[in-house]
Amino acid sequence: MSLFVIADLHLSEGKQTNKSMEVFGNRWLDYTSKLRKNWLLLVGENDSVIIPGDISWALTLEESYDDFLFLESLPGKKYIGKGNHDFWWNSTAKMTKFFNENNFASINILYNNAYCLENFIICGTRGWFIDEKQQNTVGEVDFNKMINREGIRLRLSLEEGAKLSRETHLPIYAFLHFPPIWNGFICQNIIDLLEEYSVDTCYFGHIHGNYSSPQIQIYKGIKFIFCAADYLNFVPLMVK
């Protein structure tokens, strides 16, 4: 059994969305087929894949059906987190009901909770950029409110992870959509929480088109690993 991660799938299988990422460069050409091919080569039925946000372009749960049908057709269990483009995201109760009603049995929600997978405890949240210059938003956004809210959600997840870690003695890994550090930006709120809960490995996505950037950055002893789908050329990355 193995554990993989790949963020930012940006699926657009439904007729309602029709928002392909192919307009963003050659690496995105036929990206859904590329993802399927690589996934089938690497991921087995007993494996797990974490997807830290920006899963579907759908605006509602109903519109996301074809994208989750695509994910359900792929082997392995999937653990999904929220991204800034996941407008279909809803309450845990409503999403669970939607997945159950449509027999999406392999899809699990990583949100205010934690799981014990393979040799790791996984936790996560969306995160946020507090540097407005690096975050394109629509309308007025209270950045302090957003990062405080994400901090609360991450703490809830890490607290659940700490309980599991005390039982299993396994390390806690964090999976965020937004990078806690990037291009001189540091989200101190998130860093403080990772330090508090002794998290030494954190995976993130969100950034696109930066193919020459280092995959691993180390800050305050924490290893930050870039796992956006286009950066990985749509090859799921094994968690180590």
Domains of the chain are 3-238 (3.60.21.10)
Label residue 147 by pLDDT band (50, 70, 90): confident
Which among 123, 133, 53, 40 is positioned nearest to 87, based on CA atoms?
Answer: 53
Q: Which residue has the higher pLDDT, 137 or 121?
A: 121
CA 177/CA 36 separation, integer angstroms: 21
pLDDT of 56 higher than 70 = yes
Q: At what angle do helices 143-168 and 188-196 cross, to 10 degrees?
A: 10
For residues 202 and 222, is the Cβ–Cβ distance under 8 A?
yes
Predicted local confidence at residue 138, as pLDDT: 47
Which among 172, 148, 157 is positioned nearest to 111, based on CA atoms?
Answer: 157
Mean pLDDT of 92-97: 98
Mean pLDDT of 58-70: 96
Which among 58, 49, 128 is positioned nearest to 86, based on CA atoms?
Answer: 58
pLDDT of 131 higher than 70 = no
pTM of the model: 0.93
pLDDT of 128 higher than 90 = no
pLDDT of 17 higher than 90 = no
Residue 226: CB atoms within 10 A of its CB come to 21
